[in-house]
Chains A and B, each alone.
Chain A
Amino acid sequence: MNQIALSAILSNLLDGALWTIGLSLTAFVLGGIAGLALLFARIARNPVPRRLAQGYIEVFQGTPLLMQLFIIFFGGSMIGFEISPWAAAALGLTLFTSAYLGEIWRGCVESVPKGQWEASASLAMTHFEQMRYVILPQTLRIAIAPTVGFSVQVVKGTAVASIIGFVELSKTGSMLANATFQPFLVFGLVALGYFAICYPLSAYARILERKIHGSRAH
Chain B
Amino acid sequence: MSYHFDFAAVFDYDSALLAGTAHTLLLTAVGAVAGLGIGILGAGCRAWKIRPFDRFFAVYVELIRNTPFLIQLFFVYFGLPSLGVRLDEWQAAILAVIINLGAYTTEIIRAGIEATPRGQIEAAQSLAMTRAQIFRHVVLPPALAKVWPAICSQVVIVMLGTSVCSQIAAEELTFAANFIQSRNFRAFETYLIVTAIYFALAVIVRQMLIVSGRYAFGRRTR
Partner of A74, one of B66, B75, B181: B181
Q: Is the C-beta of A70 less than 8 angstroms from some C-beta in chain B?
A: yes
B75 and A202 form a contact (CB under 8 A): no
- What 0/1 pattern do residues 62 to 105 of A give for CB contact below 8 A with B? 11111110110011111110000000000000000000000000
Q: Is the C-beta of B194 less than 8 angstroms from some C-beta in chain A?
A: yes
Range, interface on chain B:
35 or more
Q: Which of A152, A155, A159, A188 has the most CB of B within 10 A?
A: A159
CA of A110 to CA of B40, assembled, Å:
32
A63 and B71 form a contact (CB under 8 A): no
CA of A183 to CA of B74, assembled, Å:
8
- What 0/1 pattern do residues 55 to 66 of A give for CB contact below 8 A with B? 000010011111
Q: Is the C-beta of A163 less than 8 angstroms from some C-beta in chain B?
A: yes
Q: Is the C-beta of B79 less than 8 angstroms from some C-beta in chain A?
A: yes
Which chain B positions have C-beta within 8 A of A191? 63, 67, 71-72, 75
A78 and B188 form a contact (CB under 8 A): yes
Which chain B positions have C-beta within 8 A of A218? 111
B66 and A152 form a contact (CB under 8 A): yes
Q: Is the C-beta of B164 less than 8 angstroms from some C-beta in chain A?
A: yes
- What 0/1 pattern do residues 187 to 218 of A give for CB contact below 8 A with B? 11011001100110010000000000000011
Known contacts A217-B115, A218-B111; is-contact A67 B198 (Cβ 8 Å): yes
Which chain B positions have C-beta within 8 A of A158? 68
B164 and A160 form a contact (CB under 8 A): yes
B114 and A199 form a contact (CB under 8 A): no
CB distance from A13 to the nearest CB of B (A): 12
Partner of B199, one of A63, A155, A173, A195: A63
- What 0/1 pattern do residues 110 to 121 of B give for CB contact below 8 A with A? 010011000000
A62 and B198 form a contact (CB under 8 A): yes
Known contacts A63-B198, A156-B67; is-contact A71 B79 (Cβ 8 Å): no
Q: Which chain A residue lies CB-closest to B181? A: A74
B163 and A194 form a contact (CB under 8 A): no
CB distance from B43 to the nearest CB of A (A): 13
A67 and B187 form a contact (CB under 8 A): no
Which chain B positions have C-beta within 8 A of A74? 181, 187-188, 191
Known contacts A75-B191, A184-B83; is-contact A64 B160 (Cβ 8 Å): yes
Partner of B114, one of A183, A202, A217: A217
Interface residues of A in 147-162 (CB under 8 A from B): 152, 155-160, 162
CA of A183 to CA of B168, assembled, Å:
14
Q: Is the C-beta of A177 less than 8 angstroms from some C-beta in chain B?
A: yes
CA of A85 to CA of B58, assembled, Å:
37
Partner of B1, one of A80, A162, A177, A187: A80
Known contacts A187-B74, A217-B114; is-contact A70 B67 (Cβ 8 Å): no
Q: Which chain B residue lies CB-closest to A65? A: B160
CB distance from A162 to the nearest CB of B (A): 7
Q: Is the C-beta of B15 less than 8 angstroms from some C-beta in chain A?
A: no
B71 and A170 form a contact (CB under 8 A): yes
Known contacts A79-B3, A159-B71, A187-B75; is-contact A66 B163 (Cβ 8 Å): yes
B114 and A170 form a contact (CB under 8 A): no
CB distance from A101 to the nearest CB of B (A): 16
CA of A68 to CA of B198, assembled, Å:
11
Partner of B71, one of A67, A157, A190: A190
Which chain A positions have C-beta within 8 A of B83? 184
- What 0/1 pattern do residues 184 to 218 of B give for CB contact below 8 A with A? 00111001101100110011000000000000000
CA of A77 to CA of B188, assembled, Å:
9
The 8 lowest CB-CB distance pairs between A and B, nearest first, are A159-B68, A75-B188, A183-B78, A198-B66, A184-B82, A64-B163, A62-B202, A184-B79
Known contacts A160-B68, A217-B115, then 14 further A-B pairs from the complex at CB < 8 Å, ordered by chain A residue: A62-B160, A62-B203, A64-B195, A65-B163, A67-B198, A71-B191, A78-B187, A79-B1, A80-B1, A159-B69, A191-B67, A191-B71, A195-B66, A198-B66
Interface residues of A (CB under 8 A from B): 59, 62-68, 70-71, 74-80, 152, 155-160, 162-163, 170, 173-174, 177, 182-184, 187-188, 190-191, 194-195, 198-199, 202, 217-218
